[in-house]
Structures are given as C-alpha cells and as structure tokens.
Amino acid sequence: MKDEAAKKALVIGFPVAHARSPLIHGFWLETLGLPGAYERAEVKPGEVSTFLRALPANGYAGANITVPHKEEAFRTCDYLTDRARAAGAVNTVWFENGALWGDNTDGLGFVSHLNQTYPDRKKAAKVLILGAGGAARGLILPLVESGASSVTVTNRSHPRAEALVQDMKTARPDAIISTAAWEDRAAALAQADLIINTTSLGMKGQPPLEIDLGGAKPDTIVADIVYVPLETAFLAQARARGLRTLDGLGMLLHQAVPGFEHWFGTKPEVTPALRAHLVADIEKKA
Ligand code: ATR
C-alpha cells in the first residue's frame, strides 16, 4: 500500500520567499482533508538538476518551478509535454516509473480561467498578444488548442516577436500566427476578440502599459497576466470602456491544478474561497 502521509511537493526558485504556490496548494490540502505537505526551497542556479533528481529519495512527488529556474528544469526533464516543449520552459514536474516529466501549465491555466469566467465566449477568437517573452511563449499553443482562429504577436523589440512566431509555426504549422509592429498596436487591437498583456508593464514597480483601447470592439475580452496589482491600469481602462476583463490571478490559480492532481491524486477546484485567500495575501502585502 502507498504511504499516503509521505506525499509531499514544493516550489523551487531563487529567491522563493515571494512564491504564492504554497498558499494555493496548502489551501487545497486543508480543504480537501488530504494528508501531505507543500513546501518551498531556495535552490541556487546551476543546482536545479541535482535537486530535482533527488526529489523521490527525499520524499517528494514533484515540484513547481519558478523564476529563474524554468529553463534549467526544462533541460533536466526526461520527458516533456508538447506545450512545455513549445514554451521552452517547465513550471511543473512529477515522476512516472522513475522518469522525470515536465509540463508548462501557464497557458492551460490562462485558458481554464478564460473558459470558467466567460463560458459563452467566442471560441474561434482572434487573439492579440502584447509581448514576446517567456510568458507569451507559454500561452500561444494552449490558445491555438482552445480554438483561437489566429494569434498576432506585437512586441517592442520586433525581432523577438518574429523569432517567437517562427518557433510557434514550427510547433503548429497549421496555426495562423503572425506579428504586428509595436507602433501599430492600437490598430491591431481593432481586429481582436481577445487582447492579452504578457509584458511586465503594469506590474507593481513597473511603468504602465501605454495603449489606447478606444478602437477595440465592444465584445472584446481584455486580459492581463500581471496580478499585483489585481487591477492594472490596462484592465482599469478596459473596464472603464465597458469591455470584459480577465485578471492574472485566475491564471495563477488554474495553472496549479495539474500539478496538485499529479502529486496528490485528486483534481482540485478553483473556487471563490481560494481566490479570496490569495486576494487577502496580495492586499496584505500591498
Ligand atoms: P517574461 O518571461 O515574464 O515574459 P521577459 O522574457 O523578460 O519576461 O519579457 C518581458 C516582456 O515585456 C517582453 O515582451 C518585453 O519586451 P522586449 O522583448 O522588447 O524587451 C516587454 N517589456 C518590458 N519592458 C517594456 C517596456 N518598457 N516597453 C515595452 N515592452 C516592455
């Protein structure tokens, strides 16, 4: 028989004190009444591979990986999901028959949050992504798989957008993925059903994302992956214009679901109570 009490998981990062995963998984373990623990560990760059390989011997079923270790974890895994391969980064690992598996659940988390919040949304959406960094990279494949009819990427540094689009076309040759010039972003948004900020602009301590949403269609959904603050200036502008909005906290909550299910054997739910638990923490530190 399996030793239920031995199930443990953790988040690794450098630093890791700010990580909110322990709040999410701790909430689920407690409310579901499951034995187990979710911890955090600071791991130095260069030591990720050794640390992950030693997880089973130390009683861990797997881990979440946060900044700056997602690429190092990606290079360490024996097997990767398609979306992790497309993202070039891993945020969730677990073991199967002794082999280390890696997934990237950020994009899935975004789409789950989107579907839960707007179940009636247009599935064949034209998507405009602002930014071409790691976060954008993780979103595109799950968006295409959720039915998006096209994805346009616009980024301050255009070559980075071009490189990202090339990689995504290699991963999904049938998908319609293109770039738009950063200077033309206000024009590009007029076509979009879903606009997503994946840049760091608007995050606490960063300048705001400057974009005029005046040209957006009235039924457009405007999303931000930033969740501190919960409502960025970008989302506030969208709300003031009567557009539907989606904040970054929901993505954080939903991205945690697959990991928990792998490690603890039960699929947890993202509920208003879980969200309130996280909102309280964000507001406490504001
Ligand atoms: P992440 O992994 O969180 O996506 P990243 O890879 O550093 O982080 O990417 C940050 C994104 O924010 C990039 O798209 C970046 O644009 P560049 O590729 O041109 O650097 C974008 N970004 C950051 N600061 C910006 C600014 N002041 N104006 C416009 N875009 C900015």
Summarised one tens digit per residue, pLDDT across range 44-66 is: 999 999 999 999 999 999 999 99
How far apart are the CA of 199 and the centre of ligand 1, in A? 5
Q: Read off the CATH number of the domain in which 243 is found.
A: 3.40.50.720
Residue 189 has, within 13 A of its CA and on its CB side, a CA count of 25
Cα of 22 from ligand 1 centre, angstroms:
27
Do residues 82 and 119 share a domain?
no
Residues 77 and 162 in one domain: no
Based on the domain organization, do 120 and 226 belong to the same domain?
yes
CA–CA dist 132, 161 (Å, integer): 5
On whether both 121 and 86 belong to a single domain, the answer is no
Q: Are residues 277 and 237 in the same domain?
A: no
Pairing of strands 62-65, 92-96: antiparallel
Please report the pLDDT score of residue 58 as a whole number: 95
Q: Residue 49: which CATH number?
A: 3.40.50.10860
In a domain, 2, yes or no: no
- pLDDT per residue over 140-169, tens digit each? 999 999 999 999 999 999 999 999 999 999
Residue 194 maps to a domain: yes
Q: Are residues 97 and 172 in the same domain?
A: no
Residues 150 and 78 occupy one common structural domain: no
Between 2-11, 32-41, 170-179, 211-220, the lowest mean confidence (pLDDT) is in 2-11
- Residue 286 is predicted with a pLDDT of 75
Matching residue, tokens 């959720």 = 146
Q: Please tell me the predicted confidence (pLDDT) of residue 285.
A: 82
Average pLDDT over residues 204-214: 94
* C-alpha span between 93 and 89 (Å, rounded): 11
- CB of 142 closer than 6 A to ligand 1? no
Domain limits at 67? 7-104+256-284
Q: Are residues 135 and 42 in the same domain?
A: no
Q: Decide: 202 in ligand 1 pocket, CB within 6 A.
A: no
Assess whether 145 and 159 both reside in one domain: yes
User: Cβ(156) to ligand 1 under 6 A?
Assistant: yes
- Domain tally, the chain: 2
DSSP letter, residue 266: S
**Cα(204) to centroid of ligand 1, in Å?**
15
> Does one domain contain both 79 and 115?
no
Cβ neighbours of 88 (radius 10 Å):
17
Does one domain contain both 65 and 154?
no
**116 and 243 share a domain?**
yes
pLDDT tier, 6 (very low <50, low <70, confident <90, very high otherwise): low
Sign of CA dihedral 73, 76, 78, 83: positive
Any residues with CB less than 8 A from the CB of 134 and at least 6 apart, and which? 70, 87, 88, 89
List, for residues 109-143, the tens digit of each pLDDT value: 999 999 999 999 999 999 999 999 999 999 999 99
In a domain, 15, yes or no: yes
Q: What pLDDT shows up at residue 161?
A: 98
Catalytic residues: 70
Ligand 1 neighbour 133 (Cβ under 6 A)? yes
Q: Is the dihedral of CA 252, 197, 223, 164 positive or negative?
A: negative
Look at the block and give the residue holding tokens 């346009």: 152
